[in-house]
Amino acid sequence: MTLYDIPVHTLSGDASSLEAFQGKPVLVVNVASNCGLTPQYEGLEALQQTYGDRGFSVVGFPCNQFMGQEPGTAEEIQTFCSTTYGVTFPLFEKIDVNGENQHPLYAELNAFADAEGYSGEIRWNFEKFLIAPDGSVQRFAPTLNPEDPILTAAIEAALS
């Protein structure tokens, strides 16, 4: 089984997977609406707008595991993201990224290390995983802004 085969649900509850993104670069991000890093939604949407027409996509997985910073319902999350930040990229169901009820997607992603060698549990909201068209994965810290040249260079490389 690959990352693309792991069952997920859309924010509206429909069964899905990341299969539609196979062969394209995708940035998987655990997101939250009441976090100090929530303004990163703006940068994530800018990435979507900049690279979306080249096959790239951001995908967001809301998570309430970090100080209850994503308490909303699916409808509240969708409304917040679209009205506050103009989010057009796909949002999936609220999941656990760590712990006993960790979603299988994050059980796989957490094995990948970032540039500093960190692997394991998600540290906070907005940790980022860039899955390249060949299935390789790069991990980026939550505090790395979406506009950071390190991330945009990685996206550009994955698109070439």
Predicted confidence (pLDDT) per residue in 19-64, tens digit: 999 999 999 999 999 999 999 999 999 999 999 999 999 999 999 9
What is the reported pLDDT for 85?
A: 96
Looking at residue 152, what is its pLDDT? 97
What is the number of structural domains in the chain?
1
- What is d(CA 20, CA 55) in angstroms, rounded to the nearest whole number? 11
35 is catalytic: yes
Cα–chain center distance at 104: 14
Give a yes or no: residue 98 inside a domain: yes
Q: Does the pLDDT of residue 1 top 80, yes or no? A: no
pLDDT bracket for residue 2 (50, 70, 90): confident
Residue 8 has pLDDT above 80, yes or no: yes
For residue 86, pLDDT over 80 is answered with yes
Residue 160: closest CA among 86, 46, 51: 51
| Kind of pairing between the strands at 57-62 and 137-140 | unpaired
In a domain, 111, yes or no: yes
Name the strand (E) or helix (H) holding 74: helix 74-85
Q: What is the pTM of this model?
A: 0.96
3-state secondary structure of 148: coil
Q: Which domain holds residue 150?
A: 24-159
DSSP for 43-104, please give it.
Answer: HHHHHHHHHGGGT-EEEEEE--TTTT-----HHHHHHHHHHHH---S-BB---BSSSTTB-H
Stretch 77-84: mean pLDDT: 96
Has residue 19 been placed in a domain? no
**Contact in structure between 15 and 7 (CB atoms under 8 Å):** yes
- The label of the residue with tokens 């490389």 reads 157
In this predicted structure, what is the pLDDT of residue 43? 98
pLDDT digits (tens, 9 = 90+) for 100-151: 999 999 999 999 999 999 999 999 999 999 999 999 999 999 999 999 999 9
Catalytic residue among 11, 35, 63, 122: 35
114 domain-assigned: yes
- The CATH number given to whatever domain includes residue 114 is 3.40.30.10
- Expressed in percent and rounded to 5, the helix, strand and coil fractions of the chain are 30, 20, 50
